[in-house]
């Protein structure tokens, strides 16, 4: 949230992408950051949650349950299939990009 706030103060039109792993969700600072982000709805910020189920403590609570539900729903599977279809039909870079993303996903598991 700090980078997004700095961009706002400096009147920059940049977007911020925050990546957080499930292991970080066992600590209070991660939750404080997420609370700050939720309160600042007007900032251009994307949060990527990497849940590889390898945190030092069990990932529990509403967010963990929600992520588990997302991975097991038909919508998630349709989203993945649609993304694969689009990438495979994209000339030149589509197939290599799909293979790279698929390999990264498998590596994270």
Cα(33)–Cα(89) distance, rounded to whole angstroms?
A: 38
From the list 62, 61, 51, the residue with the least C-alpha distance to 24 is 51
CA distances from 61 to 22, 26, 31, 48, 65 (A): 12, 10, 12, 18, 6
pLDDT the model gives residue 108: 56
Helix axes 62-72, 74-89, angle to 10 degrees: 60
pLDDT the model gives residue 107: 65
pLDDT tens figures, 28-85: 888 888 888 888 777 777 888 776 766 666 666 666 677 677 666 777 778 888 888 8
Q: pTM for this one?
A: 0.46
Contact 46, 17 (CB under 8 A): yes
CA dihedral 54, 56, 62, 68 (to 10 degrees): 10
């Amino acid at each position: 949230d700090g980078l997004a706030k700095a961009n706002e103060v400096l009147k920059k039109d940049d977007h911020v992408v925050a990546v957080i792993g499930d292991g970080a969700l066992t600590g209070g600072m991660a939750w404080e950051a997420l609370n700050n982000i939720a309160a600042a709805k007007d900032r251009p910020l994307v949060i990527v949650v990497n849940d590889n189920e390898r945190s030092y403590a069990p990932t529990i609570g509403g967010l963990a349950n929600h992520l588990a539900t997302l991975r097991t729903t038909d919508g998630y599977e349709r989203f993945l299939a649609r993304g694969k279809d689009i990438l495979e039909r994209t000339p030149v870079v589509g197939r290599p990009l799909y293979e790279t993303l698929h390999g990264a996903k498998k590596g994270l598991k």
